[in-house]
């Protein structure tokens, strides 16, 4: 026969089990289920914006591989880092107006189209290109079309509008060294409206432009250059700069000379 102490101990144990079961049942019936992942917050449902997905290889091991969206996102990051404005991102070869344009402008279009075909095994252009001469003749549009084409192919392009770029540099000289280094090192550099502005170009500006052009000349880094100056005009400012640009762009150089008829903005 069980002693009173044993009976009480068994009662306590069974009571504890019963109450624990009731509590567990109560919690399971009132607890909120884990919320389902809101897929609408992701741009890519497949990788949930991680840019990588897990796949199982033949040995049964899960490995991470790039998602299909990664290439598109990389192109977006390149576009953002290029400093190309939203408006200029729309400049393409297929929306460049050709009808009624002077022959020199068509020659510039052909040179730009041929330029993007002359690339190495990484898709980076082998040479530089210069479109020089009359304002409004489409120089910036064509070089921007090249830039947008290369960016879409995953090639780094850095856009440097000459006037605004140097105003930024002069406004914060503490960043001068790092900014010039960035311009020297870019896979492809687009200098727009080189030496635009005052007739008197300060020595400081000439020195910095020479540092950029000379580095890229020596390293054979492709550079896209638009300017209202001809090669002769560039040499008048600095022969070292002008002669280097002439040699860098020898295969892709169009000088648009003539009258106001070249200025599409006035039509």
Domain range holding 241? 71-266
What pLDDT, on a 0 to 100 scale, did the predictor assign at position 142?
Answer: 96
Tokens read off for 47: 């990788």
What pLDDT, on a 0 to 100 scale, did the predictor assign at position 49?
Answer: 81
The verdict on 226 and 156 lying in the same domain is yes
Q: Is residue 15 part of a domain?
A: no
Q: How confident is the model at residue 84 (pLDDT cuts 50, 70, 90)?
A: low
Q: How confident is the model at residue 13 (pLDDT cuts 50, 70, 90)?
A: very low
The verdict on 121 and 186 lying in the same domain is yes
CA–CA gap between residue 100 and residue 109 (Å, rounded)? 14
The verdict on 45 and 85 lying in the same domain is no
The lowest-confidence range among 69-78, 215-224, 258-267 is 69-78
How confident is the model over 166-205, as pLDDT tens digits?
Answer: 988 888 888 899 899 999 999 999 999 999 986 789 999 9
Q: Is residue 158 part of a domain?
A: yes
What pLDDT, on a 0 to 100 scale, did the predictor assign at position 4?
Answer: 41
The verdict on 155 and 117 lying in the same domain is yes
CA–CA gap between residue 227 and residue 131 (Å, rounded)? 7
Single residue among 68, 86, 107 that ends a domain in this structure: 68
Q: Is residue 220 part of a domain?
A: yes
Residue 10 has pLDDT above 70, yes or no: no
The verdict on 64 and 75 lying in the same domain is no
Q: What is the CATH number of the domain that holds 241?
A: 3.40.50.300
What is the reported pTM?
A: 0.70
CA–CA gap between residue 248 and residue 242 (Å, rounded)? 10
**Over residues 154-158, mean pLDDT:** 90
CA–CA gap between residue 59 and residue 56 (Å, rounded)? 8
How confident is the model over 36-68, as pLDDT tens digits?
Answer: 567 677 878 788 888 788 888 888 888 888 888
The verdict on 113 and 206 lying in the same domain is yes
What pLDDT, on a 0 to 100 scale, did the predictor assign at position 78?
Answer: 54
Q: Is residue 115 part of a domain?
A: yes
The verdict on 197 and 82 lying in the same domain is yes
Listed in sequence order, the residues at least 6 apart from 233 whose beta carbon sits closer than 8 Å to its beta carbon are 195, 227, 242
């Amino acid at each position: 026969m069980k002693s009173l102490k044993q009976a009480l101990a068994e009662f306590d144990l069974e009571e504890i089990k019963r109450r624990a079961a009731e509590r567990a049942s109560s919690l399971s019936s009132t607890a909120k289920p884990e919320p389902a992942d809101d897929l609408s917050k992701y741009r890519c449902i497949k990788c949930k914006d991680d840019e990588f997905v897990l796949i199982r290889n033949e040995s049964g091991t899960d490995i991470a591989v790039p998602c299909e969206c990664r290439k598109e996102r990389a192109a977006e990051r390149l576009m953002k880092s290029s400093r190309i404005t939203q408006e200029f991102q729309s400049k393409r070869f297929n929306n460049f107006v050709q009808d009624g344009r002077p022959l020199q402008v068509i020659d510039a279009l052909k040179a730009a189209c041929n330029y993007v075909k002359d690339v190495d095994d990484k898709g980076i252009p082998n040479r530089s290109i210069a479109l020089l001469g009359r304002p409004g003749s489409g120089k910036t549009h064509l070089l921007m079309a090249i830039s947008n084409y290369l960016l879409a192919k995953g090639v780094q392009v850095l856009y440097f509008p000459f006037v605004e770029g140097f105003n930024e540099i002069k406004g914060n000289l503490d960043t001068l060294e790092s900014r010039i280094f960035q311009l020297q090192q870019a896979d492809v550099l687009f200098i727009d409206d080189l030496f635009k502005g005052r007739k008197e170009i300060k020595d400081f500006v000439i020195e910095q432009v020479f540092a950029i052009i000379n580095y890229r000349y020596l390293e054979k880094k492709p550079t896209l250059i638009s300017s209202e100056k001809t090669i002769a005009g560039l040499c008048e400012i600095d022969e070292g700069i002008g002669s280097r640009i002439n040699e860098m762009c020898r295969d892709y150089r169009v000088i648009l000379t003539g009258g106001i008829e070249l200025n599409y903005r006035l039509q």
